[in-house]
Structure 1
C-alpha cells in the first residue's frame, strides 16, 4: 500500500487526542474555566479535551504512583490547547478563514475512502476508539482550519522552495541511506505481560505476587497454545493465511490487510520478530511461533530488500513535507507566544496549573507521544 497514504491516515488519527470524547467525571470548578479576550472556555469543552488526552495516554495503564503527576500535566496541556485553539479560531473568524462541509467530505474521499484498505482501517479505528464519524469530522475540520490558518498567516515564512529541498538533500546525503528492510505478514496473538497482570489483579486485588506470576504464566501458556493451533492450520494450508489473519490477528491495522505489515526497516521492529523474519527466505513461513514483547506471531516473509541509497527523486516529497511541517510549527509557536503576550486571559482558580505553563502544548507545541498513538503528523497545507 502507498506509504504516503498510510502516514497520512496515521497522522490524522493521531490528532484525535485534540477533540471528541468525555472525561471520567467532573474535574471540579464552575461552568467557566477561562476567558480569552472575552471568549469563554467552558467546563464542557475542558472536560471533553481532558478526556481525549486521558484516552490517548492510556491513563488506566499508568502506575498509581505516577497518575497524580500525569493528571497535573494533562490539565496543563488541556488548558494550553484550548487557549491556543480559541486564539486561532478568533483570528480565523476575523480574517474569513474557514473550512466547509464540502472540504471535509472531499478530503475524506480523496485521502481515505478512495483506498479500500485505508477505508477499512478507518472503520477499525472508529470502532476501537468508540468514536462516531462525526467526531472524526470535527477533528479533521479543526486540522484543516489550522493548516489554512498557518498558510494564510505564515505567508512566505512557511513556504519551502525547490532549492531548499535540494540543498537539504545534498547536505544530508547520509540520512537517506535506507537500511535493510523486510516485507512480511503476520498474525498476532496478543500477550503483553503488564496488561495480563493488570487484568488478573482486577479480578483479584488481593492476589499474592507468587500467585500473580502463576496466573500470568498460565494465561500466556493458553495464548501460546492458541497461536500454535493457528500455525498448524496455516502450515497445513498456507493459502488461508490472509483469511485467518483477518479473523484472528489482534493487530487490527494489519489484520484488515490479511496481516500485511508492508516493508519494515531494520531497527524499527521488535528484535525477536526481526531475527525470525531475517532468517526466513522470501515467500516462506517461519517454522514456528515467534514470541515478542507484544505476544505470539506467525510470520510469513514476502520479500527482503538490501540496504540502498535513496535518490533525490525518491526523497524530495518527504523532505518538502518535513520542512513544511517544521516551518509551520515554528511560525505557529512564535505567533502563539506573541498573541498570548498581549491577550487578556483569565483562568478560574480551580483550573490554574500547579506548574508554569509549557510552551503552546497540543497544537504547535511539544507534546510527548501518547501511548499507542501514531507519531507521524497529518500532511500540512493539503485541503
Structure 2
C-alpha cells in the first residue's frame, strides 16, 4: 500500500548502492580480468555477455542491466558495464594450478574469445595464495614477475601485493596477492581494487596519444597565428584586413573542430582521481627494497596525466588568443569603415553646399531673367498705348518700372522658396 507513495526513482537510486558488490574470493584462487573498450561499437558489451552466457549455459542476463554475476561450482563470473567500457572478471577458487597459468579462463569457449577481436584494452591475471602457499609464492616473485621494476607493498594490514606492470608474453599483466591474515571478503575487495587501478590507468592513458598529436597541431597553429599577428602590426598593411580576418576565422574554426577532445581529457582527469582514490584505499605500507604502488604511479603515471592537462590548458589559452585577435581585427576593420563612412559624408556635405550655392546663383539669374521679360512685356504695352496717342513716354515709364519689377520678382521667388521649405519633410 505504501509503495504507491514512492517516487519512481526511489528504488533504482537505492539499488544503485548495491549494484556492484565486491567479489568474494576464497583462496587459493586464480582470477582473470578483461576490460573491453570499443569506441566504434557501443553494443559490443551486451553482445559479448549474451554470447558468453549462451555458450556456457549460464542464466540469461536481465534487460537493461549494468551488472551480472553467475557461479558454477568453484568458478564464477562477474560482469560490469561502465560509461565507456565493460569488464569481465573470472574467478576459479581453490585453484591448485601453476601461478599465472590463466586457469580461470580455461573453460571459456574459443569461439567467444574470437569475438573479442581488438576490443581488449586490459587483460590481467591475479593469483591469490594463502598461508604456506603464500610463503612459497613469495620466493618465486622475481621469477614470476621479471619486469624491470618490481612493485610491492603490504596492504590492508593483512597481506602483500606484487606486480611489475608489464604485459607478458601471454599478453596479460600480473598481480600476485599474498593472504597473510585478511579478514572476511578483504581478498576479493583488494583484487577488485587492483583490477580497477589497472583499468582506470589504461582508460586515463587513452588521452595521451591525443595529447601528443594535439600538441603538434597547436604548435603549427601557433606559428600561423604569430605570423598573422606580425603581418597585422606592419604599417601600410591595412588593405590586408579582409585576408587576415578570413585567416583568423579559419584558425578559430580549426580550434572548434578539435573542441571534442575536451571529453577525452575530462574523462582522463576523472580516471586519474579514481586511481588515486583506489590506491589510498589499499593503505599501503612499504616493503624494504620495493617501491609502493603509489610511488610507482606518482613517477610513471603522473607525468602522462600532467602532459594531458597541460596540452588541454594550452588549447584553451590558444583559443582565447585567437578569439582576442579576431576581436582586435574586427575592431580595426570597424574603425576603418567608420573613417571611410565619415569621409563619404563629408564629401556629400561639400557636394550639397556646392549645389546650394549653384541653386542660389540660378535663383539670382532667374530674378534677372523674369524681370527682363516682365519689363519687355511692359515696354511693349507702353509703346502700344503711345501709338494710340496716349500722352506718356514709354522709355521713361519703362525705366521707372525696373526697380518695382525687380523687387516684386524677388519677393515672389522668396515666397515660393519659403513655401517649398515649409512643405518639405523635417
- Which of the five TM-score ranges fits, normalised by the shorter chain? under 0.3
> Structure 2-normalised TM-score?
0.21
Higher relative contact order (CA 8 A, sep 6+): 1
Larger Rg belongs to: 2
TM-score by length of 1: 0.22
